[in-house]
Amino acid sequence: MGSQCLKGEGRFQLALERRVAMNPDLDPECRLALAYVPADRRPALEALWRLDVTLGQVLATGTDPMISRIRLAWWREALERLDRERAPAEPVLEATAADVLSKGVSGGELAAMVDGWEVLTEPGGLGESDLAAYARARGGLLFRHAARLLGDCEHPVVEAGSRWALADLARRCGNARESKAALEAAFAIAGGTARWPAPLRPLGMLAILADRDVARGNPEAQGSPGRIWRMIRHRLTGR
């Protein structure tokens, strides 16, 4: 299975693995976290995470940043239209409308996540403000929406989501120097909650792995026994 890079002028070269194919799938660690989501909320969380993967696929399969921006703009408009129109015959949008919007998260709120991915398509190098904008719009909003779908609108999750997004970028970036910059940006974000409430621990399982990568200063191979055990321990303890 190959991978493709987004080649910008000094911009991050994003080597997203083929967890995003014609039928976008989640990586093994997301699937494990999803397994601990209550059955009645699992379709909504899965649809939300698949939307994020699909937006990443726009960059992973793009060869021209301008074309990628046009495709991201299409997704933004399509998500906004879900608030007033029936979903088109597109599986990710259909699942989003059926399982996410029905739980109270609007298409307009989801469309704001596109802004994070769009940061990676701009020409020039990514500065601190760019990384912060990417992290908050992608990961911060993703975690905030996920927390709402899990039934908790009060617990602070934006910082954890931002760190997760930067750690994920570092893992999938094709340049070691740029990967390091993403991890350094994540390190600068406050660690957030000391103990996660039980309903949000599926999110915490992913956040704790991002913290692990940031502390190491280098993305760890996914699926290792140590990572799996760390996820299970967090699910049991919230720490």
The Cα 43–Cα 47 span in angstroms is: 6
Asked whether the predicted pLDDT for residue 22 surpasses 80, the reply is no
The Cα 111–Cα 197 span in angstroms is: 27
Cα Rg of the chain, angstroms? 17
pLDDT of 20: 30
* pLDDT digits 0-9 by tens, 193-239: 678 999 999 999 999 999 999 999 999 999 899 999 999 999 999 99
Asked whether the predicted pLDDT for residue 176 surpasses 50, the reply is yes
Residue for token pair 């088109």: 88
CA dihedral 233, 235, 238, 239 (to 10 degrees): 30
Mean pLDDT on 128-136: 95
The Cα 146–Cα 140 span in angstroms is: 10
Give residue 3's pLDDT band: very low, low, confident or very high (50, 70, 90). very low
Q: 3-state class of 173 per DSSP?
A: strand
Other CB atoms within a 10 A radius of the CB of residue 50 amount to 21
Helix 28-35 and helix 225-237, axial crossing angle in degrees, nearest 10 = 30
Q: Which of 116, 26, 14 is nearest to 59 (CA)?
A: 14
Asked whether the predicted pLDDT for residue 60 surpasses 90, the reply is no
The Cα 36–Cα 33 span in angstroms is: 6
Tokens in use for 163?
Answer: 């760190």
